[in-house]
Amino acid sequence: METAPAPVIVAIDGPSGTGKSSTSKAVAAKLGLSYLDTGAQYRAMTWWMLGNGVDVDDPAAVAAAADKPALVSGTDPAAPTITVDGRDASAPIRTQAVTAAVSAVSAVPDVRTRVTALQRSIASGAPHGIVVEGRDIGTTVLPDADLKIFLTASPEARAARRSGELKGREAADLSTTREALLKRDTADSSRRASPLKQADDAVVVDTTELSLEQVVECVVTLVEEKQRAR
């Protein structure tokens, strides 16, 4: 009788535009795992701050409000959800206003402490395992993850993908998008609290020349190998 695969925690990190979300959701769906978009949690926190008059450029004000919003993340890869104080925040957290402010909010240590605790609780409660995507999962949030993957891609490829995602909501030309991505990289990599960083034991996957299907196949293979080895 064939035994079920062992639960596995997969950390997928990398900068914006590398295919983290699409890859993570597809891998989780294929393998019957839960899925968590940690970036959506920081965006939700930022959206709440903006909507409640908190000065997002004042770290002390952000820190003082960090425990106030109630964040709930759904972990179904086919239909991931995020609510703030019971309100569906899936669409409003993707606005340009939130995008412009999320680096400042997520750099505040009190915010990271609050959200990291929430992320760890969700990961530990996933019955069959989980794919968690973000920027500091393998280094800070889940340093003991069974498998760590760091996705990367050229700035040009990342800008092209992100511009495609923005069409229909907020049009952006490639050069503007590229500059915004690089600015976000600098902010995320240089913050003192849990910076964007590749874990020493992460498997690096360069997605520049790969289709989404190829990236997903690569990651699924890595996860299955890890499951068989356990």
Q: Which two tokens stand for residue 65?
A: 């409000």
Mean predicted confidence (pLDDT) in 34-48: 97
Domains and CATH numbers, the chain: 8-229 (3.40.50.300)
171 contacts 120 by C-beta, under 8 angstroms: no
pLDDT confidence tier of residue 84, bands split at 50, 70 and 90: very high
Q: How many CB atoms lie within 10 A of CB 35?
A: 26
Q: What is the mean pLDDT of the chain?
A: 89
Amino acid at 66: A
Q: Are 31 and 223 in contact (CB under 8 A)?
A: yes
Determine the pLDDT at residue 181: 73
pLDDT surpassing 70 at residue 163 = no
Question: What pLDDT sits at residue 168?
Answer: 47
Q: 129: exposed, middle or buried (C-beta count within 10 Å: 0-12, 13-18, 19+)?
A: buried
Say what the pLDDT of residue 164 is.
Answer: 64
So what's the pLDDT on residue 4?
Answer: 67
The pTM assigned to this predicted structure is: 0.86
Residue (of 147, 140, 132) closest to 112 by Cα position: 140
- Residue 126 DSSP code: -
The yes-or-no verdict on residue 165 having pLDDT over 70 is no
Which of residues 155 and 87 earns the better pLDDT score? 87
